[in-house]
Structure 1
Amino acid sequence: MLLRPAARRNLGGDAPRRMQHPLAIGHDRIMPHAAAAVRSRAPAHLLFALLAGLVGESCYEHTTLLGDDDQGVPDAGRDARDAVTPDATPPPGHWLVRIDGAPQLSAVRILDDGSIYAAGDFAGSEPAMWVVRLDGDGTILEQHRIDAVSLGNGTLVRAPGGGVRVAGTTTAWGAGLRDVWLAELSGGTIYGQHTFGGPRDESDPALLALPDGSLLLAARTDTRFDFADIVLASLAADGTVLHQRLVGTPWEEPTGRRMLLEGPGGRTYLVAGIGGAVAGFGDIWTLALDATGEILWRASVGGPGNDRALAALVDGDGLVLVSSAEDAGGCIGWMGRIAGGGALSWQRAWRTGTCGWLAGLASAPGGEWLLAGTVPAATSTTRLTDAWLARVDAAGAVHRQISLRAGGSTHTLAMAALGEDAVVVGFVTDEPDSGPTDAFVARVGLDATFRSPCDVREPAVEEVTSPDFEVQWPAYFERGSHLECREAAAAMTPTDFPGTVVCGP
């Protein structure tokens, strides 16, 4: 049984040991070229140019933040892509920030004070992740490089006292096998880090912060030789494992992202992907848990092809889900609502010719929803893609949409709502022939025209008239789990994370 702790405790005990990270803004150990770039950047809005829809133009000005040289990405070859003519003023409240040398972006989170965290992974043979914090105007407040850790499909959640908790993976133990890594970032420092794992591989963690400061953790774990399950654990605020269980099905290993969502009345939802439940392909697996961790209902949602859970939000007594999916005609993006008890209330699907194209979901005023994804670019080069944003009504009908591009192929990967008047999106862009990749964070206003500083066109998104997803109630089992908390200081280099961190009080 998964129980929630009754009392809140500070991460790392009553007197957590705070550890200074060398990339914290405002400290002497920041990378010199990154510090110079931050000091020299224009205040408020970080550069704009309206996109004319031509390859080689972009809607940003080249600004080095995390540094090319450390990642082995030379500046040569960027000139054509970086050349812009900032001859237009963006609409009020819009901004776009480029994060140089960051090839992947996995998460965007907005805190109560309006500050924005974005995070992802660097390229390279050794794992390393990056985290950037911005204010509501796009000004960079903090940046971190964390070696020996990969964010992957991990998550960021709000920390009780401000800042964020980060869940990623590290291979510091286990001869190359991964463990879940957990730490807190706040005020330019990194502290309270722990790793969690068993004798085999754990990856793709999801994290949910509860009002009492405790956490729920869900991760993929290799518990069977040919398959995998999901370990679901309750953690005290200091990282102590209080309760844990393994959940799974007789089918193949979990796929897609894992998501933990807090619902009304103490309810918790676990959304993940599984293989083989409907028609022998991957589907979206949903568990609804009560406040004690007992399963209220479970459902597997999918169509005839391979479907992957990519985004989800709580909607009343149910969930709205987004999936990259397949049907008889090829790749589609799918959106649907699972009501309380697991019934499918409504569903929509769209086709663009781009596989894996829906990736983000956020709520909008008036009970509407915002979708983010990737569509083929409005150019003659069919290999290029644009980021895509759409506003849909309460039943999923699209009534506004735009596409954005920052040079090369642009892929939307994360999105979060910023109050009732804007959305923050994270995307990456790369050249079609294995060129350099950069990450971007943008604020797009939700005004009457839903316009953007990088607005290209009305994309050609075709709605599938009769999506054929269905709900099944798959076989389910639980087994004893093996997750344990370990001392995490050895996972990092001593220069990055000095000191010793213990697990538990």
Structure 2
Amino acid sequence: MKHMGRAMVLLLLLAAACATIAAAGGARPGPPPTATLTPAVPAPWTLPSSNTPLSPPRAASPAALSVVWEKRFDNNGKADLAADIVETPDGDLVVVGVTGPTPCLLWCNTDGWIIKLNARGELLWARQIGSGQADSFNSVTLNGNHYWITGTRYVFPYGYQAWLLEMAPDGSVVWEKTFGGNQDEFVVETIPTPDGNFLMTGRTVSFGVQDGKGDVWLVKLNPNGEIIWSKTYDLGAEDGGTALTSWGPNRYILTADTCTADCRSILTPHVFASYLVLDANGNILKTQTFNEGPKNKFGSIIPTRDGGAVIVGGTSMQETFPSEDAWIVKLDANADVAWMRIFNSRGRYDGAYDIVQMPDGNYVVSAYSQVYQTPEMNFDNFWIMRLNSAGEDLWSRIWGGPDNDDPVSMIRTSDGGIVAVGFMDAVSWPLDKIPGPSDFYVIKMTDTQALFLPCVFRDFR
């Protein structure tokens, strides 16, 4: 789904955790543990008295969205970061991410965390699953009425492995598997394919050409989680897949980032973005690279109603490096660039995470912005904007507290609403190994003639 997409958020988290584990050593974990029920207690967010709107609400805009409900979920005081969401056939919501201790000292025991909500945002159950190493979930999709959840799991002595589990509606694990070689593999997204199978993408260090210690990795799986085929794509340096979508009959578009310098840095990596158009067997039909400026990163891609696609991410094309802006790239029905939009008047570090298309052809984008308008709005802030079909800004809101607040993934629901998930109050993100304390954050929105957000906001319409 997913300054970077949900993929890069969790990859950075895992990379930092890996460094501490490698330094400390460790033993190979035993048999995979059974799912552990860990109740999450929603903690309502009360607006601090010092937080006042930066400007009064304007007259209602036809493009405005209003909040239906918003919730936060805490796993017993841990650092909790939501990465993806899916709606179930019965209208419930499944949210996946990572949970870990705060602070992270010598041993970073992160686990995957899954919560299930009803359509009103009420908690039905929660599961914490992991090996006691550095594990996380970052993608969820449906396999019938079951949930396919993918992420990354640390397995000594190999390092990180792709991790896939199938979960029943009651939260019980049907089966789980890991994939990989003798080095690190990271998975960022899994999608269903028209033929009833699945595609999984990410980055591999074990396989491929390895010009830069990593290649884009694409794996096709059958409904039992068995590998049908696996491919790697070398883009010339340290490469990784970031998002994937079905596109037309038996075609896919895969987005990727390639780091060419300073790749371990949070703020100053030199990165270029690419997309690859693939046939049903993973063969490349077309590629396009964006290397203007030192930093261009793709976060998410969706097909559009006109037969094209749209990609979101972050770029420093129009900023002084390492600053970056939210970036939208629209592709036409031939997978050529139809238009690009860069939103460069918000904060110092901005970027888009995810996008959905509305029935009227407009778009809603989940993003983050470091606007630094008041002490109460430091670091990343939630940013939701609505664009017309040409990518022009119709309406937007930025809000948040003094710590990092990021809406990492977003979906349209069967009732016409929009649900975004991410995390709130990540104190140290992304400067330290594990952010915290932070909570899963889930907000449901809908079209309306008025907007109310119980927090600091700024209107940029």
- Bin of the TM-score, shorter chain as denominator length: 0.7 to 0.9
Residues 1:21 and 2:35 aligned together: yes
Do the aligned residues in 1 keep the contact of 2:310 with 2:329 (CA within 8 Å)? yes
Cα distance per residue 1:4-30 (max 9 Å; x no partner): xxxxxxxxxxxxxxx96331xxxxxxx
Do the aligned residues in 1 keep the contact of 2:113 with 2:136 (CA within 8 Å)? no
Q: Matched residues in 2 for 1:447 and 1:151: separation?
A: 40
Cα displacement (A) at 1:184? 1.0
Q: Where in structure 2 are the equivalents of 1:172-321 lying within 5 Å?
A: 172-173=155-156, 175-187=157-169, 188-222=171-205, 223=207, 224=210, 226-249=212-235, 251-255=236-240, 258-275=242-259, 281-315=270-304, 316-321=306-311
Do the aligned residues in 2 keep the contact of 1:298 with 1:342 (CA within 8 Å)? no
How has the CA–CA distance of structure 1 residues 235 and 92 changed in structure 2, closer, same or farther, with 3 Å as cutoff?
closer
Q: Matched residues in 1 for 2:211 and 2:201: separation?
A: 20
How has the CA–CA distance of structure 1 residues 244 and 431 changed in structure 2, closer, same or farther, with 3 Å as cutoff?
closer
1:502 corresponds to which residue?
none
2:381 corresponds to which residue?
386
Do the aligned residues in 1 keep the contact of 2:70 with 2:441 (CA within 8 Å)? no
How has the CA–CA distance of structure 1 residues 98 and 52 changed in structure 2, closer, same or farther, with 3 Å as cutoff?
farther
Letter in 1 for 2:242: R
2:340 corresponds to which residue?
347
How has the CA–CA distance of structure 1 residues 287 and 152 changed in structure 2, closer, same or farther, with 3 Å as cutoff?
farther
1:427 corresponds to which residue?
422
Cα distance per residue 1:92-148 (max 9 Å; x no partner): 833323334343221122233221111111124123110101111011112110112
Cα displacement (A) at 1:317? 3.2
Do the aligned residues in 2 keep the contact of 1:233 with 1:245 (CA within 8 Å)? yes
How has the CA–CA distance of structure 1 residues 354 and 333 changed in structure 2, closer, same or farther, with 3 Å as cutoff?
same
Larger radius of gyration: 1
Provide TM-score, normalisation by structure 2.
Answer: 0.75
Q: Matched residues in 2 for 1:265 and 1:431: separation?
A: 41
2:105 corresponds to which residue?
none
Do the aligned residues in 1 keep the contact of 2:92 with 2:119 (CA within 8 Å)? yes
Structure 1 SS opposite 2:159: coil
1:412 corresponds to which residue?
407
Do the aligned residues in 2 keep the contact of 1:207 with 1:216 (CA within 8 Å)? yes
Q: Matched residues in 1 for 2:257 and 2:137: separation?
A: 13
Cα distance per residue 1:264-287 (max 9 Å; x no partner): 21222211212359xx94222211
Q: Matched residues in 2 for 1:95 and 1:353: separation?
A: 24
2:330 corresponds to which residue?
337
2:114 corresponds to which residue?
131
Cα displacement (A) at 1:438? 1.7
Percent identical residues: 18
How has the CA–CA distance of structure 1 residues 377 and 422 changed in structure 2, closer, same or farther, with 3 Å as cutoff?
farther
Residues 1:112 and 2:98 aligned together: no
Cα distance per residue 1:47-66 (max 9 Å; x no partner): 576677718xxxxxxxxxxx
How has the CA–CA distance of structure 1 residues 226 and 435 changed in structure 2, closer, same or farther, with 3 Å as cutoff?
closer
How has the CA–CA distance of structure 1 residues 406 and 284 changed in structure 2, closer, same or farther, with 3 Å as cutoff?
same
How has the CA–CA distance of structure 1 residues 105 and 53 changed in structure 2, closer, same or farther, with 3 Å as cutoff?
farther
Runs of 4+ in 1 over 6 A off after TM superposition: 50-53
Residues 1:374 and 2:373 aligned together: no
Q: Where in structure 2 are the equivalents of 1:68-107 lying within 5 Å?
A: 93-100=68-75, 101-107=78-84
Structure 2 SS opposite 1:320: strand
Do the aligned residues in 1 keep the contact of 2:256 with 2:273 (CA within 8 Å)? yes
Q: Matched residues in 1 for 2:46 and 2:414: separation?
A: 25
1:154 corresponds to which residue?
138
Q: Matched residues in 2 for 1:92 and 1:196: separation?
A: 40
**Structure 2: which 5+ residue stretches go unaligned?**
1-32, 53-65, 102-107, 262-268, 429-434
2:445 corresponds to which residue?
444
Cα displacement (A) at 1:200? 1.9
How has the CA–CA distance of structure 1 residues 438 and 356 changed in structure 2, closer, same or farther, with 3 Å as cutoff?
same
Do the aligned residues in 2 keep the contact of 1:96 with 1:138 (CA within 8 Å)? yes
2:315 corresponds to which residue?
325
How has the CA–CA distance of structure 1 residues 116 and 171 changed in structure 2, closer, same or farther, with 3 Å as cutoff?
same
Cα displacement (A) at 1:189? 0.7
1:86 corresponds to which residue?
none
1:397 corresponds to which residue?
392
Q: Matched residues in 2 for 1:452 and 1:429: separation?
A: 18
Cα distance per residue 1:232-273 (max 9 Å; x no partner): 222111122112222122x21125x62121122122221121
**Structure 1: which 5+ residue stretches go unaligned?**
1-18, 24-30, 56-90, 462-505
1:457 corresponds to which residue?
457
Cα displacement (A) at 1:350? 0.9
Structure 2 SS opposite 1:165: strand
Q: Matched residues in 1 for 2:421 and 2:361: separation?
A: 23
What is the number of equivalent residue pairs in this alignment?
385
Letter in 2 for 1:106: A
Provide TM-score, normalisation by structure 1.
Answer: 0.69
Cα distance per residue 1:191-231 (max 9 Å; x no partner): 22111111221113321112443211222011427431122
Q: Matched residues in 2 for 1:231 and 1:340: separation?
A: 25
How has the CA–CA distance of structure 1 residues 431 and 122 changed in structure 2, closer, same or farther, with 3 Å as cutoff?
closer
Do the aligned residues in 2 keep the contact of 1:97 with 1:138 (CA within 8 Å)? no
Q: Where in structure 2 are the equivalents of 1:53-72 lying within 5 Å?
A: 54=51
Letter in 1 for 2:226: T
Q: Matched residues in 1 for 2:182 and 2:277: separation?
A: 28
Structure 1 SS opposite 2:458: coil
